[in-house]
Amino acid sequence: MAVVTELRKSASGKGKDPARKSAAHRGDAKAALFFLGPWFLGLIVITLGPMIASGYLSFTDYSLLEAPHWIGLDNYTRMFDDPRLLNSLKVTFTYVIVSVPLQLAAALALAMLLDRGLRGLAFYRSVFYLPSLLGGSVAVALLWRQVFGAEGLVNQFLALFGIQGQGWVSHPDYALGTLIILNVWTFGAPMVIFLAGLRQIPQMYYEAAEIDGAGRWRKFRNITVPLLTPIIFFNLILQLINAFQTFTQAAVISGGTGGPADSTMVYTLYLYQKGFASLDMGYASAMAWLLLAIVAGMTAVNFLASKYWVFYND
Amino acid sequence: MTDVDVRDDAHTPDQKSAPSKASLSELAAEVPGPHKAPVTWRTRSRSVLKHGGLILFGLVMLYPLLWMLSSSFKPNDLIFREPGLIPSDIDLGNYTDGWTALLHPFHHYLFNSAVIVVGSLVGNLVSCSMAAYAFARLQFRGRNLWFAIMLMSIMLPIHVIIVPQYILFSELSWINTFLPLIVPKLLATDAFFIFLMVQFFRGIPTELDEAARLDGCGHIRIYWRIMLPLSVPALATTAIFTFIWTWNDFFSQLIFLTRPDMYTVPIALRTFIDSTGESSWGSLFAMSIVSLVPIFLVFLFGQKYLVKGIATTGIK
């Protein structure tokens, strides 16, 4: 939550006054040059420089083999006529809009169950958190491919009830669903954040509510949720940004193709294919900037909307 | 909301004096009265139900992983015939087959991954803590602006910079070396950890370094002798997450390492299906398990820092 708090602070100018010189800080500038040197070099060479370069490349036709050739807005206009790109946007938005709320709901539900004083809390927390650490790995993506395969674990289980399953990962209607389940499966990380947030709510609020005769639901609705909104907001931003950039699972589960029938062709996978398989690097750069615009726009909208539902106690 | 207490025993004093730490209806129920006995029974059965449900749910969550572990010991024809967890016959054949199934023996890929992990660890620990020291302790012009830029760079999708980075590194003939994966870490591009350490450094009393300054210590010595030794938890969190992220990283390793002898564990695993066909799930699972063991060990021994790290900063 801290990143969000800090950004809010610096946006509203609440941060500390910068160059208030005092005797104790003489010579700081020189030292800062030393301590920030590596970071600054990285910022210029690895981050900002390439960012500007990719902005430039997005207006060119570039295949790595010959010099970039200026084509103006062509890459951007081309995107709107590219059915595969429009499809990849649809796939990605579906993935984000379905999986993030489910993941956060699971995280909040489990955090509520694991709250204060439950015996074995640390154990449960570990069990539910483990998938978050492993979920990003190629190994788990390969496992998923098997679990939801034609002969996979899910179908073996369904067969116990006499249900004839199908190859979920190889069916265009269901393949994206397996990716969504994989993302929901990693609810442990937001759950741990929720747990920490729940600890911050003073117990006396609940006690006061009880005296007034509030039931479980009323307490959840009128105490827990309002006081937890900053954490919900933080988790939402974080998971939205993550989900938009999902790559590994889609790439591995579909064998790099985004199939079947482009049903798992998430945006970043298409970007990778354009940039690094077809070497259409100008187009890939334009796609990257569209991604940045979407992620930034989504974050900005969330920040604006947060005024109406997030309750800051500061 | 900058530092969240995540200790398991984080009860406020008034909670301790409360009769029960459990759910709210129980609190109400603990009021002494003639109907105490049936209420305790109800409380207990509710708690048994809750634990039962949690255990069942946990089992469902972990079942695929446990199943992969068990399958890695099963001969191929058994994997798809028995969904149970206990293999009827333990067979290490998958491990020996898998180890040599690819162009290079599997320890070759493990070694490659380890090199990148160690390089990234050193890079992140040194460069991010240095930058964090400047942001937390030094006063210089434009500090707030640079700090805001640093915060925003955390949220920048890597895709926006990957194409020019690729061009840059190929100009330098760094493709198919580990340099594109390590050098950026030496330059503190994982700004996330800078932020983590700034937060931590801000919690260290300034009196400590002011006293050291009066004794004639320079910034380098304060950083090295005071801040770093006091920041072991933040450094540990950084190390653990760097380890896990680098070990799991797929996107950038896929782009910068294209020659089989440079493959890391994730890239090698991915080629498994192409080179051995769909028939060898057993050895694929065996090598997948091998690839997850380091993460699992880090998880086991670093849990305290992991949980604290996520709770304070929200990393995955």
Q: Which of A16, A30, A36 to probe by mutation at the B interface, max B CB count within 10 Å?
A: A36
* Residue-level pLDDT at B12: 38
| Residue B19 pLDDT level (bands cut at 50, 70, 90) | very low
Distance CA A42, CA A49 (A): 9
Q: Which of A85, A128, A132, A133 to probe by mutation at the B interface, max B CB count within 10 Å?
A: A133
Q: What's the predicted TM-score (pTM) here?
A: 0.87
Contacts of A186 in chain B (CB under 8 A): 316
Q: Which two tokens mark A289?
A: 């900037």
Contacts of B247 in chain A (CB under 8 A): 137
* Residue-level pLDDT at B313: 62
Digit-coded pLDDT (tens) for A31-83: 999 999 999 999 999 999 999 999 999 999 998 888 899 999 999 999 999 99
| Three-class secondary structure of residue A69 per DSSP | strand
Interface list for B 44-103 with A (CB within 8 A): 50-51, 54, 58, 61-65, 67-68, 80, 83
* Residue-level pLDDT at A17: 46
Digit-coded pLDDT (tens) for B169-215: 999 999 999 999 999 999 999 999 999 999 889 988 988 888 988 88
Contact (CB<8Å) A143/B213: no
Distance CA B143, CA A39 (A): 13
Mean residue pLDDT of chain B comes to 83
Cα end-to-end span (Å), chain A: 14
Contacts of A26 in chain B (CB under 8 A): none
Across the range A9-16, mean pLDDT stands at: 53
Chain CA centroid to CA A283, Å: 24
Asked if the C-beta of A112 comes within 8 angstroms of chain B's C-beta atoms, the answer is: no
Beta bridge partners of A144: none
Distance CA B208, CA B225 (A): 11
Across the range B294-311, mean pLDDT stands at: 83
- Sorted by where each starts, the structural domains of chain B and their CATH numbers stand as 1-57 (no CATH), 99-313 (1.10.3720.10)
**B171: alpha, beta or left, given left = phi > 0 and alpha = psi -120 to 50?**
alpha
Distance CA A169, CA A178 (A): 7
Asked if the C-beta of A191 comes within 8 angstroms of chain B's C-beta atoms, the answer is: no
Q: How many helices (H) and strands (E) does chain A have?
A: 16, 2
Asked if the C-beta of B207 comes within 8 angstroms of chain A's C-beta atoms, the answer is: no
Lowest mean pLDDT among A102-106, B29-33, B191-195: B29-33
Contact (CB<8Å) A39/B150: yes
* Domain A70-309, second-level architecture: Orthogonal Bundle (1.10)
From the list B257, B245, B272, B269, the residue with the least C-alpha distance to B120 is B245
**Nearest C-alpha in A relative to B298:** A133
Contacts of A137 in chain B (CB under 8 A): 247-248, 266, 291-292, 295
**Residue ranges per structural domain of chain A:** 70-309
Task: Please state at what angle helix A138-147 crosses helix A175-185, rounded to 10 degrees.
Answer: 130
Digit-coded pLDDT (tens) for B217-247: 889 999 999 999 999 989 999 999 999 999 9
Q: How many residues does chain B have?
A: 316
A216 vs A219, A285, B175, B195, CA distance in Å? 5, 51, 59, 38
**Nearest C-alpha in B relative to A271:** B159
Q: Considering CB atoms only, which of A127, A219, A247 is closest to B251? A: A247
> Is B283's pLDDT higher than 50?
yes
